[in-house]
Copies of this chain bind each other. A is one copy, B any other.
């Protein structure tokens, strides 16, 4: 009796009912009498019954599991988004299955396949920096499994819903802020343009330069993956000979921090001689001296909107066509601090 985990069959036997009735009672089916429902639920409690979601998923073809594929759990933006996503999904009775790609396309493929095998009811994806071919997600489309991309999304058309921050606007605002603060020359640390984030922020940068009639110099724009190591190499390059750029717009906060520390070590006065703007409002930017001006992306909002979109699709509230046509763009905000 220790061995055996209780099932609806046990409940049925105990109450001399059929399993069908028990199943319906537990699911609050309208045709079951109130009295029976109560009896069944009491017996279920007494037996410590818990629905076997495998069995019910197999029969009913839903698992209540939502998959999430993400580059790295520990990056600030994503960690904050996950928090919001998980909280919201739990309210709706869904579990969240997380897979990390570590920004490797191959891993992304494996995870997509694993998520599909485990029959997630929906999938949320922030892709790697390098994913340009999204065909490993086709199987979700073909099988009509709701699919939502957020933050890191396909650049070319792909028939799935997209939720992202307004990176173009963010890039524009960051650059414009530097321009308005008087920078005549603004360098830009971008990431690989294969990623929509950097592509859009870069576009914003370019347009802001144009608007404020500032020169574009290709020696002052970089497209390496924005690791601390790369940022340091770039910083060395930027400040090897004068004139130095008067402003730096870094497309993530990690590299903004590296540049700031390097410039500080060079005794450059910030913001007097050099102004810096980062991206993401990483908690570190508020704490470093001087604090770094940056773009807030509201990761919790992005996460919540992504979940909301997924749920809408799952509930059929949104027509398939509409999903695909209209990316959802969430607002960003310039956080003014001492560095610019």
Interface on A for B, CB 8 Å cutoff? Answer: 2, 5, 48, 50-55, 57-58, 63-65, 72-74, 76, 79-80, 82-83, 86-87, 90, 95-100, 102, 107, 110-111, 113-119, 139, 142-143, 257, 261, 283-284, 287-289
Contacts and interface: CB of A to CB of B under 8 A. Distances in A.
Given A79-B79, A98-B96, A73 B54 contact: no
Contact of A53 (B82, B100, B117): B117
A72 B117 CA distance: 28
Contact of A63 (B54, B283, B284, B289): B54
Contact of A116 (B50, B115, B117, B261): B50
Nearest to A49: B117
Contacts of A57: 54
A287 B284 CA distance: 7
Contacts of A74: 76, 79-80, 82-83
B5 A143 contact: yes
Contacts of A287: 257, 261, 284, 287-288
A171 to B, nearest CB: 24
A97 B100 contact: no
Given A50-B117, A118-B65, A119-B52, A73 B102 contact: no
Given A74-B76, A95-B118, A288-B288, 5 more contacts: A50-B117, A64-B118, A86-B98, A95-B114, A283-B284
Nearest to A288: B287
A52 B58 contact: yes
A283 to B, nearest CB: 6
Contact of A102 (B48, B76, B87): B87
Contact of A97 (B65, B107, B110): B65
B52 A117 contact: yes
Contacts of A95: 97, 99, 114-115, 118
B50 A58 contact: no
A288 B50 CA distance: 49
Contacts of A98: 82, 86, 96-98
B73 A100 contact: no
A87 B100 contact: yes
Contact of A73 (B53, B83, B117): B83
A201 to B, nearest CB: 23
